Amino acid sequence: MAAAAALTVVSTLLISVTMADMRMFALITGLAIAQTEVTRRIERQRRMLSHGPHINVTSVWLLPAALLVPPQLVAALAVVLYAYLALRSWNGIGAGEAHRVAANATTMVLSGFGAALAGDLAGEQGVATVAAAALGYFLVNTALTGLGLYLADPAKATPASCLGTMDDNLLEASILCVGGLLTMVLTNEPLLSLLVILPLYILQRSVLIKRLEELATTDQKTQLLNATTWQDGAQREISRAEREHSTFGALMIDLDHFKHINDTFGHLAGDDVLKAVAAVVKQETRAHDLVGRFGGEEFVALLPSTSKEDAIVTAERIRQRISELVIPTRTNEGEQVAIERRTASIGVASFPLDGSSIEEVMASADAAVYVAKDSGRNRVVGSVGKPALAAVA
Half-sphere exposure of residue 236, counting CA atoms within 13 Å on the CB side?
7
Contacts 24+ apart (CB under 8 A), 315-319: 315/251, 315/253, 315/346, 315/348, 315/380, 315/391, 316/380, 316/391, 317/284, 318/251, 318/253, 318/280, 318/281, 318/284, 318/344, 318/346, 319/343, 319/344, 319/346, 319/378, 319/379, 319/380, 319/393
Positions annotated as catalytic residues are 297
365, 357 Cβ separation under 8 angstroms: no
DSSP assignment, residue 218? Answer: B
- The CA-atom distances, in angstroms, between 319 and each of 188, 284, 315, 325, 373 are 62, 10, 6, 10, 13
How far is it, in rounded angstroms, from Cα 143 to Cα 172? 13
Q: What is the dihedral of CA 216, 222, 223, 227, to 10 degrees?
A: -40
CA angle, 218 then 224 then 225, to 5°? 55
Three-state secondary-structure class, residue 157: coil
Which phi-psi region, left, alpha or beta, contains residue 290 (left: φ > 0; alpha: ψ -120 to 50)?
beta
| CA pair distance 238, 244, nearest whole angstrom | 10
Distances in whole angstroms, Cα of residue 245 to Cα of each of 234, 241, 290: 16, 5, 19
Is the bond leading into 352 cis (omega within 30 degrees of zero)? yes
List all residues 6 or more positions away from 270 whose beta carbon is below 8 Å from its beta carbon: 258, 261, 262
Distance (Å, whole) CA 237 – CA 242: 9
Query: Per DSSP, what are the bridge partners of residue 255?
Result: 344
